[in-house]
């Protein structure tokens, strides 16, 4: 058994039942290093109780640095939070809004990057501007700059913030984040990125002008549910109003517990991203995330992205030959870990998902877009298995 991560090798997933697991865009399976990290965390608390806390606090500092490297940030720019939605809410309720400020969102976004902005709008008297996701590079849409022109026209009218996903969950379209960031800078708008469908499989560099970014760990990072991170650009921290701050948001929040400083309620809140780490964390989830990110760091995100594109290149022609319509962007920069397809009219897509699952192929299909989402452990040798399973599932459905 391999003891290190290798592209196309699932040796680190010995208990994975599926013959081909293609749902990393939903929830990833757990690797041996991730499982071992969780066990080590729990065992340390079983042996040591509170004494174990110091060790894991040190590990969280290491994790912030690793996550920062993953997205081109600094360690002090990273907060460890519980999930993607929490990261969105933290920022949506921490900006010093002015009544009437406009927030640009996109129709078709996953609700995690819509609902918090709706709630903030209702709370602070904001205006939501909704733009379609067309014109950013899907097949048949012509120039991928059309969406940017539409966004620019909206920004020209004035906007405080643009909220967008790095990768669209239904279609797999990788959004042109650097170009969107450039437009936001030109029109003095802030940029918030939901990266859960991108980080870990698509190279991301926040230095292009991203102001805020959040990402959960249970998809392409290959961690487990209940842990995530939030990035805040250093030049934005000072202007935030952490209305949802907690007891650990203060400077020196725990000194009174160890007799190094008195109990006080007037300590300043931290002027760093970790001001959003307001209470006790999911330590096991963060231990898992640390192990998962270490594997990705060894592989390199560009290498993971290239491997997944080879996988898509191999399976896509067979799916097209079977009557599926690919939503994969014809532009390499618009491609992600998700190969989304529309099925022929005679296929019950959800029935196909169940039929594939019964044959050891795990996929997902929100709003009936079939999503093929391999990651670094998937071998190219799985492609014939997947196509054969599709044929068998369709034949079985027809026979009924």
CATH for 163? 3.40.640.10
- pTM tops 0.85, yes or no: yes
Q: Where are the alpha helices (DSSP H) in the chain?
A: 32-48, 53-71, 84-92, 115-124, 146-156, 177-186, 234-237, 283-299, 301-321, 349-358, 383-399
Domain boundary among 297, 330, 345: 297
Domain co-membership, 71 together with 155: yes
Domain boundary among 297, 325, 358: 297
Domain co-membership, 56 together with 188: yes
Q: What is the pLDDT of residue 259?
A: 87
Q: What is the pLDDT of residue 1?
A: 43
Q: What is the pLDDT of residue 140?
A: 85
Q: What is the pLDDT of residue 389?
A: 98
pLDDT digits (tens, 9 = 90+) for 212-261: 999 999 999 999 999 999 999 999 999 999 999 999 999 999 999 988 99
Domain co-membership, 70 together with 187: yes
Domain co-membership, 215 together with 284: yes
Domain boundary among 262, 281, 297: 297
Structure tokens at 343: 């099925």
Ranges of the chain whose pLDDT falls below 70: 1-3, 142, 399-400
CB atoms within 10 A of CB 85: 20
Indicate the number of domains in the chain: 2
CATH for 382? 3.90.1150.10
- Please report whether residue 290 resides in a domain: yes
Domain residues for the domain of 26 are: 20-30+301-399
Domain co-membership, 284 together with 135: yes
Domain co-membership, 43 together with 70: yes
Q: Please tell me the distance from the alpha carbon of residue 57 to that of residue 254, in angstroms, as a whole number.
A: 12
Task: Look at the alpha carbons of 306, 339, 130, 215 in this order and tell me if their dihedral is positive or negative.
Answer: negative
Q: In what order do the strands lie in the sheet with 325-326?
A: 325-326, 339-342, 369-372
Contacts of range 141-145, beta carbons closer than 8 Å, 24 or more positions apart = 144/176, 144/329, 144/331, 144/334
Domain co-membership, 307 together with 230: no
pLDDT digits (tens, 9 = 90+) for 33-44: 999 999 999 999
């Amino acid at each position: 058994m391999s003891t290190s991560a290798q592209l196309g090798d699932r040796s680190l997933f010995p208990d994975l039942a599926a013959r081909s697991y293609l749902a990393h865009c939903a929830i990833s399976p757990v690797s041996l290093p991730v499982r071992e990290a969780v066990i080590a965390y729990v065992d340390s608390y079983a042996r040591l109780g509170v004494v174990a806390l110091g060790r894991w606090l040190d590990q969280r500092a290491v994790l912030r640095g690793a996550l920062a490297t993953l997205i081109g940030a600094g360690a002090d720019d990273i907060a460890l939070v519980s999930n993607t939605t929490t990261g969105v809410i933290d920022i949506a309720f921490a900006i010093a809004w002015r009544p009437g400020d406009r927030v640009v969102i996109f129709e078709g976004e996953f609700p995690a990057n819509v609902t918090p902005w709706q709630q903030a709008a209702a709370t602070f008297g904001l205006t939501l501007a909704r733009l379609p996701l067309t014109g950013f590079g899907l097949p048949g849409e012509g120039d991928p700059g059309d969406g940017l022109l539409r966004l620019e026209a909206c920004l020209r009218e004035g906007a405080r913030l643009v909220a967008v996903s790095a990768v669209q969950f239904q279609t797999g379209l990788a959004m042109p984040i650097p170009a969107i960031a450039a437009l936001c800078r030109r029109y003095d708008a802030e940029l918030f990125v939901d990266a859960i469908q991108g980080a870990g499989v698509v190279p991301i560099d926040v230095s292009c002008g991203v102001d805020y970014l959040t990402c959960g760990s249970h998809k392409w990072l290959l961690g487990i549910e209940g842990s995530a991170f939030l990035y805040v650009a250093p030049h934005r921290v000072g202007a935030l109003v952490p209305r949802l701050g907690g007891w650990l948001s203060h400077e020196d929040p725990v000194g009174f517990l160890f007799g190094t400083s008195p109990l006080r309620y007037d300590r300043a809140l931290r002027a760093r991203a970790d001001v959003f780490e307001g209470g006790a964390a999911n330590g096991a989830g963060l231990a898992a995330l640390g192990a998962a990110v270490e594997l990705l760091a060894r592989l390199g995100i560009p290498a993971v992205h290239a491997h997944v594109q080879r996988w898509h290149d191999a399976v896509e022609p067979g799916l097209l030959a079977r009557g599926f319509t690919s939503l994969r962007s014809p532009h390499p920069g618009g491609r992600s870990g998700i190969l989304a397809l529309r099925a022929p009219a005679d296929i019950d897509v959800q029935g196909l998902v169940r039929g594939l699952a019964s044959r050891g192929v795990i996929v997902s299909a929100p709003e009936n877009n079939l999503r093929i989402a391999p990651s670094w452990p998937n071998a190219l040798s799985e492609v014939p298995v997947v196509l054969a399973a599709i044929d068998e599932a369709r034949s079985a459905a027809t026979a009924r």
